[in-house]
Amino acid sequence: MPAPISSVLIIGGSGFLGCHLVDLFYKLTPRPEIHILDIRPPPALSPNFYSFNPDDISFHKGDITDPDSLRAIFRVTKPDVIIHSASPVHGMGKDIYFKVNVDGTQTIVDVALEQEFWSTIKAVVYTSSASVIYDGSDLKNADETFEFPEVAMDAYNETKVLGEQIVLSANGKGAGLKTCALRPSGLFGPGDRQLVPGMLAVLKTNGTLFQLGDNMNLFDFTYIGNVAHAHVLAAQKLLDGDVSDVAGEAFFITNDAPVYF
Ligand code: NAD
């Protein structure tokens, strides 16, 4: 039996992944209290794809760059598990990535490690990105032994590396906080507002009339439900007594284990 979770705080829980995280934590038995911390409320969701009753989920408006807002929400929600999935979307300026992904992540960790929360917050799962090891060159059969590139491709990737390092370096601190990082690649599935809508927009504007390269490039996309499931498993494993193989570690999340030659 996996360790029961009494209260989970899903930071960024109004987002694409966040809504699927809510959905999977909702299906757990026993069901934990489920709280969302986000700068915006959750969207209206189709019952075709999500099984939770929105009335059972508590939304807390807050900004991860504001320690007072975090403190107040941690006090009310008393989470034993925090899932940190908040990030600005792709295509924003460098400053906002550093403010949210680096300063905001540091603030979450700093507040979670304040003595007041030692007896409450046991585990933090960070949504990192497979792009943390991307340097612009082809990566085939990459795994967790791959190093971060010396120069990141862009500010998003750079700040996801720094966010991951902040969360993993908090492992074992305070009263023995457990942390890990999950690295999904491009997400697809119900509720996606970036990948497929972006492709359709290109199609509608005839942007597919030309081709760059030989059309043989590979890219790893991961189904959103599998990524959410990985977060649930990571949270349960961190709460388990035997966490030596998860705590302090980062894991790529993919649909399968394809091997390309
Ligand atoms: P999303 O934009 O749908 O969700 C992110 C949520 O974070 C939003 O609801 C947003 O309001 C919230 N947020 C942003 N700044 C905040 C702040 N300062 N305080 C509180 N909340 C804030 O994004 P998503 O596609 O669901 O991505 C979720 C996570 O997965 C992110 O960490 C992202 O880096 C990571 N990721 C996404 C992809 C992808 O293809 N979408 C791939 C790999 C990793």
Residues 6+ apart with CB under 8 A from 109: 124, 166, 167, 170
pLDDT tens track for 153-169: 899 999 999 999 999 99
Decide whether any atom of ligand 1 lies within 6 Å of the 196 Cβ.
Answer: no
> Could you tell me the distance, in angstroms and rounded to a whole number, from the CA of residue 176 to the centre of ligand 1?
27
Beta partners for residue 201, in sequence order: none
Domain-located, residue 227: yes
* Percentage of the chain lying above the pLDDT 70 cut: 97
Q: Residue 206: pLDDT band by 50, 70, 90 thresholds?
A: confident
Contact criterion met (CB below 8 Å) for 120 and 74: yes
Token representation of residue 116: 């007041």
2 lies in a domain? no
Model pLDDT for residues 102-121, shown as the tens digit of each residue:
999 999 999 999 999 999 99
Q: Decide if 258 is inside a domain.
A: no
**Active-site position among 61, 140, 160, 204:** 160
What average pLDDT does the structure give for the chain? Answer: 93
In the chain, what is the straight-line distance between the N-terminal and C-terminal CA atoms, in Å?
A: 39
Residue 245 domain-assigned (yes or no): yes
* Domains of the chain: total: 1
Domain that holds residue 109: 7-253
Q: For the chain, state the CA radius of gyration.
A: 18
Q: CA-to-CA distance for 182 and 173, rounded, in angstroms?
A: 20
Using CA positions, which residue lies closest to atom 25 of ligand 1?
16
User: Which atom of ligand 1 is nearest the CA belonging to 193?
Assistant: 3
Residue 1 resides in a domain: no
Give the three-state DSSP class for 81: strand
Asked if the structure places residue 261 within a domain, the reply is no
Nearest atom, ligand 1, residue 188 CA: 40
Whether pLDDT at 205 is above 70: yes
**Does residue 197 form part of some domain?**
yes
Does residue 259 form part of some domain?
Answer: no
Active site residue 173: no
CATH number of 53's domain:
3.40.50.720
Phi, psi of 251 (to 5 degrees): -135, 130
